[in-house]
């Protein structure tokens, strides 16, 4: 069926929102590209040379994978130690080459029929749970405008099947240990009886139990706790549909979007090598430049907050790479430039004195309590002797915290695995300091645990297999001669 469709496909000017019409994954950027040249060999996979052009072609399949509804295609092959777009592209491409080489050696290459079957099951090609040939034709036409062919679709699907086959092999060889599974279930589902001691920063802002020299020393030793996040300001040009253009029919809207994409690409190409000309070039092209205020990645400026892709790209900009690629938004495209960057830094002591003293008080109280408990005193009695009264919330589990959601979240975020009688370290809870003591844990519900294993174990083993895949890929990369990423970063 797919082969027939390919032979008969017509040019369908139908814009599919799930497909990115124009995104520009470029390896390497013009400055970096000059270091190598397209045909330069950047490294070897099992003694087979790989050029910059090879890496660029493989990097471009990323967006096709996303369009096909295969986000795991990138997630499992991404380079975890990459810091820039170029490094991400190189790391991904290298891992993909390793995967293909190893799949051939393991004799787990997907067959043509399995590729066809997998394509028919992809979400973009479905209508009412069945393969829709019209959607397939529309998709092929849309990605064809980006330079992709049906063979490229086959290639991405085949790579995804290779990943699945390796994950299956790894999963079959290494299941989650029963002891580990039981332990994790108990930590999440068995109800706990806790004693909680909180020290609020607001209560200690004007406290002078500790001399200023001690407060300053604690602040200096723990300045990382009081770090203010990195902030940045950007300029950007929007190539977006007008209100009237948004009302156009699909065919007309597609034509406008294609024109906007071309304009965005032309502008980006003009400024990427000369970022200082961003405003001048925009003015020459009669384009409006917007500028944000200072913002963080978790609190983006209102001008860009609704465009997740633009926010993500903006927060990745550096002084060495201050201009984004062309970024697709809801109604068009964007190109942005970094204007200023305020690195992360510790807040001044005067602004966080309450937090510092609260943490010092928590440390002192915890030490006093533990000294008493080591001598045989119960935690609650030791706390009373130290002059504090712990909160003892009703029994709860991490999975069902009820009214104790805040403390359950704190336990989860800090990955606390307490046994009865254990006391946590002092934890930061916003501006406050907290530590908890596990008084007791209720026994395991054997029937509920058995039901959990029956329903959840396959999914858990699958997750375990995905972790195993990353380790397999690391070993395979080392065996193949290593990745050139570290050398690229050093250069």
pLDDT digits (tens, 9 = 90+) for 167-197: 888 877 667 788 888 998 999 999 999 999 9
Percent of the chain whose predicted confidence (pLDDT) is above 70: 90
Cα–Cα distance, 312 to 31 (Å, whole number): 22
Q: Which tokens is 208 given?
A: 């002078």
Helices H / strands E in the chain, number of each: 19, 13
CATH architecture of the domain formed by 230-343: Roll (3.10)
Residue 200 has pLDDT above 80, yes or no: yes
Characterize 371-404 residue by residue with b for buried, 16 or more Cβ atoms within 10 angstroms of its Cβ, and e for exposed: ebbeeeeebeebbeebebebeebebbbbeebeeb
pLDDT at 176: 77
Residue 26 has pLDDT above 50, yes or no: no
- Segments in 190-295 forming alpha helices (H): 201-204, 212-221, 250-272, 278-284
Residue 28 has pLDDT above 50, yes or no: no
Cα–Cα distance, 390 to 366 (Å, whole number): 12
Listed by start position, the domains of the chain span: 2-174+465-490, 191-209+351-441, 230-343
Give which of 186, 225, 206, 177 is closest to 363, Cα–Cα. Answer: 225
pLDDT digits (tens, 9 = 90+) for 79-102: 887 777 778 888 889 999 999 999
Domain 191-209+351-441 and domain 230-343, same fold? Reply is yes
78 band by pLDDT with thresholds 50, 70 and 90: confident
3-state secondary structure of 331: coil
Residues 21, 145: contact at Cβ < 8 Å? yes
Residues 73, 65: contact at Cβ < 8 Å? yes
CA dihedral 346, 348, 349, 352 (to 10 degrees): -80
Vertex 22: Cα angle to 43 and 485 (nearest 5): 20
Mean pLDDT of the chain: 87
pLDDT digits (tens, 9 = 90+) for 399-422: 999 999 999 999 999 999 999 999
Mean pLDDT across 135-146 = 89
CATH architecture of the domain formed by 191-209+351-441: Roll (3.10)
Vertex 288: Cα angle to 284 and 293 (nearest 5): 130
Mean pLDDT across 383-390 = 97
pTM for the full model? 0.62
Characterize 307-336 residue by residue with b for buried, 16 or more Cβ atoms within 10 angstroms of its Cβ, and e for exposed: bebbbebbbebeeebbbbbbbbbebbbbbb
Residue 7 has pLDDT above 50, yes or no: no
Could you tell me the CA-to-CA distances from 382 to 76, 194, 385, 391, 449 in Å, in that order?
50, 15, 5, 14, 36
Characterize 147-179 residue by residue with b for buried, 16 or more Cβ atoms within 10 angstroms of its Cβ, and e for exposed: ebebebbbbbbbbbbbbbbbbebbbeeeebeee
Mean pLDDT across 12-31 = 34
pLDDT digits (tens, 9 = 90+) for 150-163: 999 999 999 999 99
- Segments in 174-249 forming alpha helices (H): 178-189, 201-204, 212-221
């Amino acid at each position: 069926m797919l082969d027939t469709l390919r032979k008969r496909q017509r040019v369908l000017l139908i814009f599919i929102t799930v497909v990115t019409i124009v995104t520009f994954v470029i390896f390497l950027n013009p400055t970096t590209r000059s270091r190598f040249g397209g045909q330069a060999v950047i490294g070897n996979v099992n003694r087979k040379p790989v050029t910059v052009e090879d890496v660029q072609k493989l990097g471009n399949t990323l967006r096709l994978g996303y369009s096909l509804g295969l986000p795991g295609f990138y997630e499992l092959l991404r380079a975890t130690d990459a810091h820039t777009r170029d490094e991400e592209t190189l790391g991904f491409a290298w891992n993909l080459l390793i995967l293909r080489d190893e799949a051939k050696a393991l004799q787990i290459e997907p067959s043509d029929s399995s590729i066809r079957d997998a394509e028919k099951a992809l979400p973009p090609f479905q209508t009412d749970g069945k393969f829709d040939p019209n959607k397939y034709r529309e998709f092929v036409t849309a990605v064809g405008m980006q330079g992709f062919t049906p063979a490229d679709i086959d290639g991405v699907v085949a790579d995804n099947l290779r990943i699945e086959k390796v994950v299956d092999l790894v999963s079959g060889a290494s299941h989650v240990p029963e002891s580990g599974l039981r332990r994790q279930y108990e930590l999440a589902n068995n109800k706990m009886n806790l004693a909680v001691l909180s020290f609020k920063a607001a209560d200690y802002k004007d406290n002078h139990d500790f001399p200023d020299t001690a407060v300053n020393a604690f602040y200096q030793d723990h300045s990382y706790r009081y770090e203010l996040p990195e902030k940045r300001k950007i300029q950007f040009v929007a190539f977006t549909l007008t209100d009237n253009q948004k009302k156009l029919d699909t065919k007309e809207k597609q034509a406008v979007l294609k024109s906007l994409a071309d304009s965005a690409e032309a502008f980006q190409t003009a400024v990427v090598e000369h970022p200082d000309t961003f405003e001048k070039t925009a003015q020459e092209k009669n384009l409006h430049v917007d500028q944000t205020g200072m913002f963080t990645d978790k609190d983006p400026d209102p001008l860009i907050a609704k465009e997740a892709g633009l926010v993500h790209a903006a927060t990745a900009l550096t002084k060495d790479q201050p201009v984004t690629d062309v970024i697709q938004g809801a109604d068009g495209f964007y190109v942005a430039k970094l204007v200023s960057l305020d690195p992360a830094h510790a807040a001044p002591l005067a602004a966080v004195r309450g937090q510092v003293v609260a943490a010092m008080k928590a440390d002192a109280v915890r030490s006093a309590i533990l000294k008493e408990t080591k001598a045989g005193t119960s935690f609650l009695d030791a706390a009373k002797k130290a002059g504090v009264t712990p909160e003892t919330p009703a029994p709860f589990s991490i999975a069902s915290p009820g009214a104790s959601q805040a403390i359950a979240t704190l336990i989860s975020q800090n990955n606390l695995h307490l046994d009865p009688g254990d006391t946590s370290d002092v934890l930061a809870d916003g501006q406050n300091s907290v530590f908890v003591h596990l008084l007791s844990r209720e026994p395991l519900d054997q029937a509920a645990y058995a039901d959990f294993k029956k329903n959840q174990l396959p999914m858990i083993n699958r997750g375990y297999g995905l972790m195993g895949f990353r380790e397999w890929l690391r070993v395979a990369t080392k065996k193949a001669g290593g990745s050139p990423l570290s050398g690229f970063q050093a250069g």
